[in-house]
Amino acid sequence: MKTLGRILIILMVFAALSALMVVGVNASGVSASSFRGEGGEFRPGGEGFPPGFQPGADGNRVRPEGFEEHSERGEGRGGISGLMFGAVRNIFVIALLVTLIVWPRSVARKKRKMDAVKPAITEG
Amino acid sequence: MSDEVARNTPVQTKTKLWLDLLIFAAFLVTMDPRSSGIAIHEWLSLAMLAALILHLLLSWDWIVSISQRFLGKLGTQNRVNYILNWLLFIDGTLLIVSGVMISEVAMPFFGIRLPEGFAWRRLHDMSANLGLLMLGLHTALHWGWIVNTFSRYLVQPVVRLFSAKQKKDAAI
Ligand code: HEM
Ligand code: HEM
């Protein structure tokens, strides 16, 4: 019962934040399908398609650059080697952040310990 | 977790360790939808929501305790963790909401079709990258816990197992 209440609290906060986000994005107007990104990026639903473009047709899906259909089937940069590439890049980012934060802290802690020991030695 | 909050039992700590490893691995897979494919990406990230709820339930005492003391006297580490955890929660919500808005597999499966909106794609991409950075910070701030728990519940039992076997072999 207690756990159920806690789950409900988490879900309620999640739902409230979600509602705020949907309202916020809709109110800002950028979610309109005719949205144009910087550099006049083209998206379907805009004022016109380039000649030969059929929205929704194969090869004309709206994807960020490099997100190609065939990758989903494990070809190209997909598959095991692709997974390795993406995962290695992301693990590298996390490892870099961990090193940048943990290492200076551990050096500072060691220095503090040494400083605490030094007076004891000179006093002795 | 800090000493300012009641400690977990060994079973809870072990559960946390395995759950966190699972969420971490799932996050890495969802961060690369080009390799996994959109279907795995969508279903796995929706399933992660349940795992994250469990993650929060296992730290519930800490959340309540720090929420009550946030405006009063509180150590810097706990304060920073608390703010970062809220930012992670907000970013995670944006990630899932924007994901649902651009869903190509999960929502159509439930018969839900949402209007195309390029802004949601941008937000999804942005919140995913931000999530990666914040997860890096979250991991760094819990590095001590990760190393200790890994050592106590994974490395040491394996080492003990081998040394016991060596002793037994030597006795024979
Ligand atoms: C990929 C996702 C995540 C992973 C791998 C992860 C991992 C961890 C680890 C290893 C700990 C240390 C366990 C402890 O001190 O008891 C922890 C604690 C915690 N995490 Fe996460 N976490 C993730 C996402 C999140 C998110 C999205 C939130 C959002 C609110 C969150 C909130 C917390 C809280 C409240 C604690 C305990 C309090 C503290 O910060 O010391 N975590 N997490
Ligand atoms: C932990 C949660 C999630 C993470 C870390 C995540 C991460 C990502 C990333 C990094 C991309 C690639 C974006 C790009 O290359 O520009 C992406 C794309 C995508 N995600 Fe997610 N995502 C999550 C949750 C979801 C959910 C819950 C859904 C839907 C139910 C979803 C649906 C999609 C779709 C449809 C795309 C492809 C967008 C496109 O074709 O342009 N995602 N996601």
Instruction: Enumerate the residues of chain B whose CB falls inside 8 A of the CB of residue A67.
Output: 34
Owning domain of residue A115: 77-124
Number of folded domains in chain B? Answer: 1
Tell me the CA end-to-end span of chain A in Å, nearest whole number: 61
Instruction: Enumerate the residues of chain A whose CB falls inside 8 A of the CB of residue B139.
Output: 94, 97-98
Contact B140 A100 (CB under 8 A): yes
pTM given for the model: 0.82
- Ligand 1 atom 12: residue of nearest CA: B142
pLDDT confidence of A44, banded at 50, 70, 90?
A: very low
- What residues flank ligand 1, with Cβ below 6 Å? B 1, 16, 20, 23-24, 27, 52, 55-56, 59, 62-63, 81, 85, 88-89, 92, 135, 138, 142, 145-146
**Assigned domain for A20 exists:** no
Residue B140 has its nearest CB partner, among A6, A43, A97, at A97
The pLDDT tens digits of the residues spanning B94-129 come to 999 999 999 999 999 999 988 877 899 999 999 999
- As given in the structure block, the two tokens for residue A120 are 């004891």
Which ligand 1 atom is at minimum distance from the Cα of B88?
Answer: 27
**Assigned domain for B120 exists:** yes
**Assigned domain for A119 exists:** yes
Residue A64 CA to residue A99 CA, distance in Å, equals 31
Residue A47 CA to residue A14 CA, distance in Å, equals 36
Q: SS3 of A53, please?
A: coil
**Assigned domain for B36 exists:** yes
**Assigned domain for B63 exists:** yes
Residue B125 CA to ligand 2 centre (angstroms): 7
Which ligand 2 atom is at minimum distance from the Cα of B96?
Answer: 27
**Assigned domain for B168 exists:** no
**Assigned domain for A94 exists:** yes
Query: pLDDT: is A123 or B59 the higher one?
Result: B59
Residue A101 CA to residue B129 CA, distance in Å, equals 19
Q: Which of A58, A71, A96 is nearest to B32 (CA)?
A: A71
Contact A44 B97 (CB under 8 A): no
Q: CA neighbours within 13 Å on the CB side: how many for A34?
A: 3
CB pairs under 8 A between A and B: 117
Yes or no: say if B29 and B42 are a contact pair by the CB < 8 Å rule: no
Residue B125 CA to residue B107 CA, distance in Å, equals 19
> Average pLDDT, whole number, for chain B?
91
Task: Quote the ipTM score.
Answer: 0.89
Number of folded domains in chain A? Answer: 1
Taken in order A99, A104, A106, A110, the sign of the CA dihedral is positive
**Assigned domain for B154 exists:** no
**Assigned domain for A91 exists:** yes
Nearest C-alpha of chain A: how many angstroms from B7? 19
Contact B117 A102 (CB under 8 A): no
In the prediction, which pLDDT does A45 show?
43
Contact A78 B37 (CB under 8 A): yes
Nearest C-alpha of chain A: how many angstroms from B73? 23
Ligand 2 pocket test target in B28, B31, B45, B105 with most atoms within 8 Å of CB = B45
Taken in order A107, A109, A115, A117, the sign of the CA dihedral is negative
Q: Residue B138 CA: which ligand is closest?
A: 1
pLDDT confidence of A32, banded at 50, 70, 90?
A: low
**Assigned domain for B130 exists:** yes
Instruction: Enumerate the residues of chain B whose CB falls inside 8 A of the CB of residue A1.
Output: none
Asked if residue A120 has pLDDT above 70, the reply is no
- B97 in A contact zone (CB under 8 Å): yes
Helix (H) or strand (E) holding A25: helix A2-28
For the ranges A35-49, B67-81, B148-162, which has the lowest average pLDDT?
Answer: A35-49
- B38 in A contact zone (CB under 8 Å): yes
Query: pLDDT: is A86 or B27 the higher one?
Result: B27
Mean pLDDT of B54-58: 96
Owning domain of residue B50: 2-144
User: Any idea which residue has 């986000």 for tokens?
Assistant: A21
pLDDT confidence of B87, banded at 50, 70, 90?
A: very high
The pLDDT tens digits of the residues spanning A67-83 come to 544 444 444 455 566 55
**Assigned domain for A44 exists:** no
**Assigned domain for A25 exists:** no
User: Any idea which residue has 């309202």 for tokens?
Assistant: A23
